[in-house]
Chain A
């Protein structure tokens, strides 16, 4: 049995690991089999994470966080959590390969998943012209006409990034104002390859083997029109990944895991949550990292309050720790 298991490998998970490892909690971090590193693995320039005046590539930042966590003794497993038993003194975490790991505390930092439009043919044409990752798939739309759906920073970043490849990028937003930061808005609004379609929603996606076009509906007058294009990038926000804790942890009205005030404490003693899975509002790498710190410190405080015998039974030598 261990002192702490961290579930999640984004900024929240790794920052929690760094603090926990340095507090000699010998954390085990479950990083996911194919999505280790979280959402920043799918972006290019990260210009707003403090400490990088020239910006840093998303994957580079995550690899650096991982290295930092490992330096102080975090053990990382690249597998998926398939089951959780959170009640009681000893928490049990079941992985995809069948292994069960036990710990006195768990930090849940699984982030959020890209939201789908929820329209017909979206799943069928996923990977055949419908995408949620501009950096992954933009390459395949060189000199084509494509569209990005959304009005936040992600949508603006994706649209601007895609102008490197596409000849024309529509930004389709169901309102007439953007949620995005001023800097990102201005960049997109002034780009000659980007055309904004305001007050529009995507109602249909056309194409047999590949996307050939979309049907959009105007939300103000219900008029419809068709746009010929080869690619549709959906950037309309994300849903917290809470399915593993349904029925165990309390959720908020926004679907995030409920925590006590500014702490990371959930409704179950010894279970803490951090990052985008608790934050429906800010959802930045740096706010996630900060919340990872909070979770590690809360876990440490909780462990300090347990009986010495119980903690002693879980104390392990850190793996590969440096002085």
Chain B
């Protein structure tokens, strides 16, 4: 299973919005095949970029409030948060080089 930490509706503000770090939230669900496919790729990116970006997961079935707040209509959705704001949105499962390219500004 994924090495990424789970966040919830209850912990989102503390762990993501109020964090000093650059955090990518991976919105996913059990029934979402592409979510499962991209999960190990995100784990690898996180492992290779410790200190630059942190990756956490939010299950949209269990946490509808946060999913609705950010108007998630397609998953996997990977939103990058900095200082409480969404600074980048990546939608859909992509191969590792494509994701690294999308996240280049955070991985530099």
Contacts and interface: CB of A to CB of B under 8 A. Distances in A.
Nearest to A141: B73
Interface string A94-131: 00100000000000000000000000000000111101
A304 interface: no
* Dominant SS among interface residues on chain B: loop
Contact of B33 (A37, A209, A210): A37
A109 B94 CA distance: 20
A210 B75 CA distance: 14
Interface string B64-80: 00000001111101000
Interface string B8-38: 0000000000000000000001011110011
A210 B71 contact: yes
A188 B32 CA distance: 25
Q: Which one of A34, A209, A210 has the highest number of Cβ atoms from chain B below 10 Å of its Cβ?
A: A34
Chain B interface residue bracket vs A: 20 to 34
A140 B96 contact: no
* Dominant SS among interface residues on chain A: loop
Contact of B75 (A80, A126, A136, A231): A136
Interface residues of A, number: 24
Contacts of B38: 34
A136 B34 contact: yes
A139 B75 CA distance: 10
A1 interface: no
B95 interface: yes
Contacts of B93: 34-35
B37 A34 contact: yes
A22 interface: no
Interface of B: 29, 31-34, 37-38, 41, 71-75, 77, 91-97
A136 B35 CA distance: 10
Return the 6 tightest CB-CB contacts between A and B, nearest first: A127-B91, A127-B74, A34-B93, A140-B73, A34-B37, A33-B95
A137 B74 contact: yes
A15 B33 CA distance: 21
Contacts of A280: none
Interface in A110-166: 126-129, 131, 136-137, 139-141
Contacts of B97: 96
Nearest to B33: A41
Contact of B91 (A33, A36, A128, A139): A128
Contacts of A34: 34, 37-38, 41, 93-95
A42 interface: yes
Contacts of B32: 136
A129 B91 CA distance: 12
B71 A209 contact: yes
Given A34-B94, A34-B95, A96-B97, A128 B34 contact: no
Contact of A127 (B29, B37, B73, B96): B73
Contacts of A35: 34, 37, 93
18 contacts: A33-B37, A34-B34, A34-B38, A34-B93, A35-B37, A35-B93, A37-B33, A41-B33, A41-B34, A126-B91, A127-B77, A127-B91, A128-B73, A131-B74, A136-B75, A139-B29, A140-B73, A209-B71
Interface string A7-46: 0000000000000000000000000011111000110000
A126 B34 CA distance: 15
